[in-house]
Structure 1
Amino acid sequence: MQSNLPLKGKTILLTGTSKTTTIVDNITALGGHAIIAPLIETCERMDSNDAERLHCVNQFDWIIFTSQNAVDAFASKMQRHQFSAENFRGKIASIGTKTTSALEKLGFQVSFMPSVFSADIFVKEFPSIAGNLPSCLFIRGEKAKSTLKDGLPFVLKEWTVYETIERHDQTSVIINCIHHNQDVTVIFASPSAVDVYARDVASHVGWQATRIAAIGHITEAALEQYGATVNIMPSVYTMQAVIEEIMKVGDKS
């Protein structure tokens, strides 16, 4: 294998939302073949009270974002109702480099990010810097688990700003890819995508037909519940870290 093309001969299936397409150029430059087959998409949940709720955000000491999708939906509301980062006084807590980068592009300064990009680590580390009985608002998606609400030792208000929609139009693309390529790695970044794949794809080809990569131990656990063996799960929960791990492994036999 050529050292300057460490992904040569490898096919990488991206199952997350279409936002994952930013990694495609990187995979291609490394000699790999990227196939975008999103099994989920997100859409903003719009409400007639959005402007009022944006004003109410200033009542909170902390505003918490755990996904780039939540930032994007919140940004859409800000733009629609002519808000900017300067309109908000609360501190910002974020999970993940993509989430933080999206917030910074909007003009926010992130005051806290956990050492591991996961909600269960967030609830362990956040209280020590959050202050005494802080008021917190969690900007979330409809499928967000109750980890923050159950795990934090103070009251957490929530605002659901986006919904996750399952996509079933990519099934044949994924199955054909698996049948026609020998070294395929499927990357999962959320339990929602795992659920769709399990029903639509694994039920036909099984879990052993490809190498399985997971971003985050929550996604890893979802895969293992279906009986899948997770071959790649980097300690840093980013797409780039997964690609770096794929470069290290041999061919899929």
Structure 2
Amino acid sequence: MSEKPLSGKRVMVTRSRSQVRELAELIESLGGETYAFPLIKMVPPRNSGPLDEALNRIETFDWVMFTSPNGVRFFLKRMDELGIKRSRLTARLAAVGPRTAAVLRENGLTVSVLPAEFVAEGLLGSLRGRLKAGETVLLPRADIARKTLPEELSRLGLYVTEVDAYDTVIDGENAAEAAEMLKSNAIYAIAFTSSSTVKHFVQVMEPYGLPALLEGVLIACIGPITAETAAQLGLKVHVVAEQFTVEGLVNALLSIQGGDSHGSNV
């Protein structure tokens, strides 16, 4: 039987605890092993007042734009906690990426706009020509979300309400163990799935001796924004996914193995 492409390789996965499984299963299906090092936890917002206020007038918005599956989950959970019926959500819905759209559809909601490029800039490109000045937009997002989307929407003449649907907090519980794995050359590659995981990685691992810990370790990023953050923080990025999804990230790791052009080097 032929050897699978990631046989004998262990990949450190830095997603939150609730999101590790999907990436781990893909890596393991290709013969690899995963070491889960969750660096972020998603929790309800410290101040839910702005979200609650927006939800209580949800029918007044022309658009609700979701930038992550977690944003959808926390948003709908809070709607349910407040007893707000889904039928009041009459706005057109836009999603950044197929996973975000899938969570909306799983909850019986229709997605009006799904961009080909799974970042805020891709959503803006897909929305051009569909937005009208004066329309109202609700953006339920993470507390650390980039400002590109709300700023551009405001420039187009839309009225944007940006609320924290959830907070992202650091989770460095396994830092000492992760450092030991890296020191002992037990890690082939690190897969970063967001800018926040990169920032938290650097923060929790610095006491253990970066950049020496990363010698001989490949670094793969889910997209250019994550890669840019890594580079700014002094990490050498070896490959960036062309499609900004978990599958794209695994394909990028495979491209290092096979030497083909599925990933782009930085």
The question of a shared fold, defined as TM-score above 0.5 by the shorter chain, is answered with: yes
Deviation at 1:138, TM superposition (A): 0.5
1:228 alignment counterpart: 235
* Distance change (3 Å), C-alpha of 1:146 and 1:181: same
Partner of 1:12: 11
Matches within 5 A, 1:1-253: 3=2, 5-18=4-17, 19-45=19-45, 47=48, 52-152=53-153, 153=156, 154-181=158-185, 184-201=188-205, 204-206=209-211, 207-250=214-257
Secondary structure in 2 matching 1:112:
coil
Deviations along 1:112-157, one digit per CA (max 9) or x if unpaired, are: 1222111123233323222343211101111011111211212211
Overall identity of the aligned pairs, in %? 24
Give the partner amino acid of 1:8: S
Report the more deviating stretch, 44-53 or 150-159. 44-53
TM-score w.r.t. the length of structure 1 is 0.90
Question: 1:184-205, CA deviations, whole angstroms, 9 ceiling, x for partnerless residues?
Answer: 2111112211112112225614
For 1:4 and 1:133, locate their aligned partners in 2 and report how far apart those are by CA, in whole Å. Answer: 58
Structure 1 outlier segments of 4+, above 6 Å: none
Q: 1:85: Cα distance to partner? A: 3.3
Name the count of aligned residue pairs. 250
Distance 1:34 1:219 in 2: 20
Change (3 A) 1:10 1:51: same
Deviation of 1:6 after TM superposition, in Å, equals 1.1
Counterparts in 2 of 1:4 and 1:80: CA distance versus 1, 3 Å: farther
RMSD of equivalent CA atoms: 2.1
Query: What is the rounded CA distance, in whole Å, between the counterparts of 1:15 and 1:229 in structure 2?
Result: 17
Listed as ranges, the gaps of 5+ residues in structure 2 are: 259-266
Unaligned 5+ runs, structure 1 = none
Q: In 2, distance between residues paired with 1:3 and 1:238? A: 27
Question: Normalized against structure 2, the TM-score is what?
Answer: 0.86
For residue 7 of structure 1, what is the amino acid of its counterpart? L
CA distance in 2, matches of 1:181, 1:31: 19
Q: 1:52 and 1:62 mapped to 2: Cα distance? A: 16
